[in-house]
Amino acid sequence: MDIKKISDAALIALKTAENLNVPVCVTVIDTGANVVYTLRMEEANFMTLEAAYRKAKTAFLFKCPSHVLANIVQRVPKLAKEIDKLPGDAMMIEGGLPIEQNSKIIGGVGVAGGNFEQDLAIATAFMQHFLSL
């Protein structure tokens, strides 16, 4: 993963969060679910670190936005039981997006600290900028 692209996109996400007046944490993981970048605004509470990581990991592992997984689980309740058996504590709410490059999922980004819509908007800003670079 290109750390310069990630850093640039994270700064756009930070600016989006500032415009929304919401303190957040932005975390990016690679294909091994290793954190390659994290940025936490000073006012973001301590839980945002873990929540952003879990959202990024959920989006990467299931190859879809973290909140979309919740919709799938509602339609297929048996899937929820299977997901609960997996290590990693999936977080199926807005704020996690898979990072795709050259038609391949190369990681995930997670944002936590705002409400559901704010976290998704900030993660989307990250992805839009990342893909434009």
pLDDT band at residue 31 under the 50/70/90 scheme: very high
* CATH at 96: 3.30.450.150
Rounded mean pLDDT of the chain?
95
Predicted local confidence at residue 86, as pLDDT: 81
pLDDT > 90: what percent of the chain?
87
**pLDDT greater than 90 at residue 83:** no
Section 37-57 average pLDDT: 97
Q: Which pLDDT score is estimated for 91?
A: 93
Q: Look at the block and give the residue holding tokens 């679910």.
A: 33
Give residue 20's domain range: 3-132
Structurally, the chain folds into a number of domains equal to 1
Distance CA 44, CA 39 (A): 10
The pTM (predicted TM-score) of the whole model is 0.95
